[in-house]
Structure 1
Amino acid sequence: MNSFVELQRCNTNTTFIIKLVFPEFENIKESKISIFSALGTAIFSEKVGGEVVYKTWKNENHIKITDVIFQPEANGNYYVDKHDYGYF
């Protein structure tokens, strides 16, 4: 959780950054995406360079994972940082 991931839309080559979070902290306007959303589940176990397809009620989306900018677990941080969720 709390990983920052850079993604690229395959049809337009535009990039954007999301933060993967638990469902209760999802906030689309802040680019905080639940791991249980269509996009979250599609990219959760993929590697950088991988392309995924996820469906919404409107359409099918093709996304490429271009970078994992930050992953807390890779730095030995295995707990939820309460500062990220407005507790402090």
Structure 2
Amino acid sequence: MMPDQPELLTLKGVFALLNAGIAQAGGNNAFARKHGVHKTSVSNWANTNRDASDTLLDILGLERVTLYRRKETYKNEQGGHNG
């Protein structure tokens, strides 16, 4: 990665940040109170029962980006079409 490029996280990395934040806050309920969200939402995020919502990303100071790459079959065969 180039030095001026921002760090990209996998979804696993997002949930690792969440779990660190929950631990720092003192648990799910404390994290929920601190960030003004329902404790059930925090529990669902922590157990990966819900996707990383815009609310969660805002809390963690993250933004969603989209990346694309060639399919393995395309790289190997140089054929095929999308769409």
Identify the TM-score tier after normalising by the shorter chain: under 0.3
Which structure would you say has the larger RCO, counting Cα contacts within 8 Å and 6 or more residues apart?
1
Higher-Rg member (1/2): 2
Tell me the TM-score normalized by structure 1: 0.22
Higher helix share: 2
